[in-house]
Amino acid sequence: MQFIEAARDFLAYIEMTRSNGTYRYQKSKINVLEIYFDNEDINTIDKKNLVKFISFMRKRNPKITNATLNKYIGIIRRIIRYNIDKDVKFEKLPEDKRIVPTLKQRTINRIFGYYQGNSSRPEMLRNYVLFRLLLDTGLRINEALHLRIRDIDFETSTIHVKVTKTKMERYVFFTKTTKQFLKKLISSKDISDYIFINYQTKGILKVDNIEKVVYRLEKRLKLDEKIKPHKWRHTFATRFIKNGGNLEALRLIMGHTNLKTTQIYLHVDNEHLHKEYFRVNNLALDTA
C-alpha cells in the first residue's frame, strides 16, 4: 500500500472521529509527509526510513525543533498502525522543556479596558465576552465558538461543553462579571442559538475570524506580546495551579485525556517568581 493512499485513508478517519482543529493540523503535517514518502510502500517503512526523514527535514529547515519532528514521526507511526496494524518502534527525540507562555496582567487589563470602553458596539461586546470566557474557562477557541445558549446554566455559572477536541463532553465554569456581560450580549443581539456569530453573515464565527481579530487588536493596542487564543487557555491553567487548584480538577476542566499533559502547568510563571524572590530577599534584608 502506497504511503500517499494510506495517509489519505488515515486523514479521512481523523475527519470523522476528531475535531476540525485536529483534522486541519494533521492535514497540514501530512501534506509535508507526502512530499517525502509519496509512493513508498508503507510495509517497508522502518526505523531507518524515519532517521532518513529526520535528516531530510533538518536539511530542509535547519531551525526545525525536535518537538516538531516528534510530531511528524508520531503521525507517520499512526498512519502505518491504522492501515496495517504495524507499530514502527522509534524513541522520541529529546525536547527542550520550555515554560508555557502566559499573558501579562497589564496586557489583559489593556484589552479588557479597550473592549469595555467600546462595549456599545456589538462586535466589541462579542469579542470582549469571548476573551473573558477564554480566561475564565480555559476553553479551546473552537470549543468556545461552538457554544450555544442551551449549553449554559446561568444559575450555577456552568457551561456544558459538547463540541470538544477529544470528543468527550465536559463542564467548565465562569465568573460573576463574565455572566453579566454574557447576558448583555445575548439580550443585545437577541441571540437564540450560537453565541458567537458573524453579524454580517449570521453564521457561526470561524477560527480564522478570531485570528484576524487578534492580529488587529495587537496592532491597534501596540501590544508587546502575542495574544493568540491558546495563550488565554495557558494563562487560565497557570493561574488555577498558582492559586492552589487541584491538578486532577484542572485536567477535567481543560479536557485533557492524560494527566501528563496537564502537568506542564506546574511551572511557576516569571511574574510570580519575581514577586516571591523579592518578598523573600526583602524579608532577609529587614531582619539582617
pLDDT of residue 283: 61
pLDDT of residue 285: 56
Please tell me the total number of residues recorded for the chain in this structure.
Answer: 288
Three-class SS of residue 244?
coil
Q: Which residues contact 119 (CB under 8 A, 6 or more apart)?
A: 125, 128, 181, 184
pLDDT tens, position by position, for the chain (288 residues)? 999 999 999 999 999 888 777 888 999 999 999 999 999 999 999 999 999 999 999 999 999 999 999 999 999 999 999 999 999 999 999 988 777 889 999 999 999 999 999 999 999 999 999 999 999 999 999 999 999 999 999 999 999 999 998 889 999 999 999 999 999 999 987 788 999 999 999 899 999 999 999 999 999 999 999 999 999 999 999 999 988 899 999 999 999 999 988 888 887 666 677 777 777 777 655 554
pLDDT of residue 286: 55
pLDDT of residue 95: 87
Q: Which segments within 47-153 are labelled E, that is strand?
A: 152-153
Q: Mind giving me the DSSP string for 166-213? A: SS--EEEE--HHHHHHHHHHHHHTT--SBSSB-TTT-SBPPHHHHHHH
H-helix or E-strand spanning residue 161: strand 158-161
Q: 513508498: which residue's cell?
A: 40
